Amino acid sequence: MATKRVRRHLRHLAVVASGVAIAVTMSTASASAALLGPFPYGDPGDKPVIGDWDSGGLDDIGVYRNGVFHRPTYQPYGYGDPGDIPIAGDWDGDGFDTLGVYRPSTRTFHRVGFNTTVTLGNLGDLPIVGDWNANGSDELGVYRPGNSTFYRIGQPDVTYGNPGDLPVIGDWDGGAGADGIGVYRPDTLTFYRPGLPDITYGDPGDLPIAGAWRDGKDRVGVYRPSNSTFYPYPD
C-alpha cells in the first residue's frame, strides 16, 4: 500500500510585523528556495506555483509568467501557453512535484511527462491538485466559484464556501490521510477550512497559497502579485 510522502527536514519561518518584513532565512536542507518568510520573487502579475521540486520533504516556491515557469536555482522552463494556470503535483508518488498547467479555454490539464491531457470542469473553473485518497500520489480536480463546489476525480463533489471564493488545498494536520479542502474569501481576506479556525490574512488582490514550509503540515499564506512577494501566515 502506498503511503503519504514524508516531509523530512525542518526550516525556520520568518514573520511580518506591522507590515515590516523580518529577515528571510534560506535553508541549506534543499537545493531550491523554500518559503521561510516574506520572500520577494518574480515580476508583478506573475502567478504563484508551489511544490517540492527536489523531494527534500518541504515545499518550495515558483512563479509562472507568459508560458514560462521560474523557480529559484532552476533554469526557466517553458511549458503551456500564456493564459494557462500553473499547477504542480506528485503524480507518481516519488516525492517530486512535477509542473503542469490548466488551460481554461479548453478546460484541459497538461502535465510535463504526460502524452495525454485530462479534460475536466466548466469554463470559469479553477484547477486544484491534492492527494484525495491518501495513496501518496496527487490527483486533479476543479473548484467552481459560481456554486462553491469542489469536483475531484474519483471523489464525491463537495460544496463549501461562498460564490467567488478561491480554493486552497493542503495536508492541514500533517498526517497520512487525504489532503483537505479550504477556501480564501477575497472580500474578507479570510481562509476557511472545515473543522479549523478561520484565518484572516493578506491584502486585497492577494492570491491564496499553501505549503509545508517547515514540517509535514501544510500552512496557508498569500502571494501578492502587486509586489511579487510570498507571505506565509506567521503561526
The domain locations on the chain are 16-232
Q: Which residues of 70-94 are buried (b: 16+ CB within 10 A; e: fewer)?
A: bbbeeeeeebbeeebbbbbbbbeee
Confidence of residue 35 (pLDDT cuts 50, 70, 90): low
Cell of 158: 463537495
Query: What's the chain's average pLDDT?
Result: 87
pTM: predicted TM-score of the whole model, two decimal places? 0.85
Q: How far apart, in whole angstroms, are the C-alpha atoms of residue 34 and residue 223? A: 14
Which one of 3-17, 21-35, 207-221 scores highest in mean pLDDT?
207-221
In this prediction, residue 89 carries a pLDDT of 97
In this prediction, residue 112 carries a pLDDT of 97
CATH no. for 16-232: 2.120.10
Of 227, 219, 209, 232, nearest in space to 46 by CA: 227
pLDDT tens string 156-203: 999 999 999 999 999 999 887 899 999 999 999 999 999 999 999 999
Q: Mean per-residue pLDDT for 83-90?
A: 97
In this prediction, residue 176 carries a pLDDT of 79
Of 17-31, 77-91, 101-115, 194-208, the range with the lowest mean pLDDT is: 17-31
Q: Mean per-residue pLDDT for 128-155?
A: 97
Of 38, 33, 42, nearest in space to 20 by CA: 38
In this prediction, residue 149 carries a pLDDT of 98
Residues 186/167, Cβ–Cβ less than 8 Å = no
In this prediction, residue 216 carries a pLDDT of 84
In this prediction, residue 203 carries a pLDDT of 97
Count of beta carbons in the 10 Å neighbourhood of residue 201: 19
In this prediction, residue 175 carries a pLDDT of 83
Q: Mean per-residue pLDDT for 55-71?
A: 96
Confidence of residue 30 (pLDDT cuts 50, 70, 90): very low
In this prediction, residue 26 carries a pLDDT of 33
In this prediction, residue 174 carries a pLDDT of 87
